[in-house]
Structure 1
């Protein structure tokens, strides 16, 4: 499935069209992707995953912390398909890991894996890795958006744990 590509020169939506928490108003220039567009895109990705996996057991692996919101919304949509598509059902188990590679807004160049009960159990299984932002995406099968090379916040994406609660609808 092709992702939605947002051009490098895209200016975003004016804040005047959204309810932005007062304590964030000075820090945000614009809204790149409105909440409703994100939700519709997640539903489409969930549908595609559901049809790709069919009746196979799926291990959904969330990369914390930035991926938790997307992961939660994606699982909600996948379980909804399980309830409403009578003859097809995808058994889903979940796990969480944390990868730390950023300090402030810069990559450290090394990746530290934290958590994951036993990652060896993933061998030979169908694993859906849900991550917030991926730099290259060369091995991805499902991608929501391709965005400009900008530092983004909101929808659980943060800057030093700040903005993670930003949810502009």
Structure 2
């Protein structure tokens, strides 16, 4: 598995420092308030688990699994594979995302949660602005990364590599890119 990683982009200690920093920002902004941490399955589970350990505000957890569909997902239509269970009406929802690429799915998800009455902010570990097709307002952003295929720390290729403690660039021959 390690032989299939071209290079380590962000090491384990850099990730933990950034996650702690993001949590400190959320703690400051939401002091004395309750939040719903909406964890987007599956890639953001590891990030979210670490993030919530540093949060000292009242946190409820919920999970969604979503994707965009349509012609190359440009339509931004949201397909809900697993919906959240908490009524978010009037609640502060922070979407915990592992990586933002095109922004299409996340943009549609934000619209859906706002339509349901939530106050929505986004917290992402990684952002790939070179791939952005849709404007997404991200309040809490970890690392801006180049347009490379990354794995590790919850992110996968074909359900593999999620357990790596770092974020690495996958060799092109592995995914045929």
Q: TM-score, normalised by structure 2?
A: 0.67
1:1-169 aligned at under 5 Å gives the runs: 24-78=1-55, 82=56, 90-101=57-68, 108-109=72-73, 111-118=78-85, 121-135=87-101, 136=132, 138-168=136-166
Cα separation, 2, equivalents of 1:147 and 1:125: 31
Following superposition, which runs of at least 4 residues in structure 1 exceed 3 angstroms of deviation?
none
Determine the C-alpha separation between the residues in 2 that align with 1:167 and 1:39.
10
Deviation at 1:65, TM superposition (A): 0.3
Structure 2 Cα separation of the partners of residues 111 and 161 of structure 1: 22
Q: Please, which runs of 5 or more residues in structure 2 have no aligned partner? A: 102-131, 168-177
- Give the deviation of 1:112 after TM superposition: 2.0
TM-score norm. by structure 1 comes to 0.70
**Matches of 2:84 and 2:7, distance apart in 1:** 39
Higher strand fraction: Structure 1 or Structure 2?
A: 2
Q: Any idea what the Cα deviations from partners look like across 1:102-138, whole Å, max 9, x if unmatched?
A: 9xxxx9515421223446x212210010011112463
List runs of 5+ in structure 1 lacking aligned partners: 1-23, 83-89
Higher relative contact order (CA 8 A, sep 6+): 1
Contact preservation (8 Å) 2:10, 2:166: no
Deviations 1:25-44 (A, max 9, x none): 33111000001000000001
Coordinate RMSD, CA, aligned? 2.2
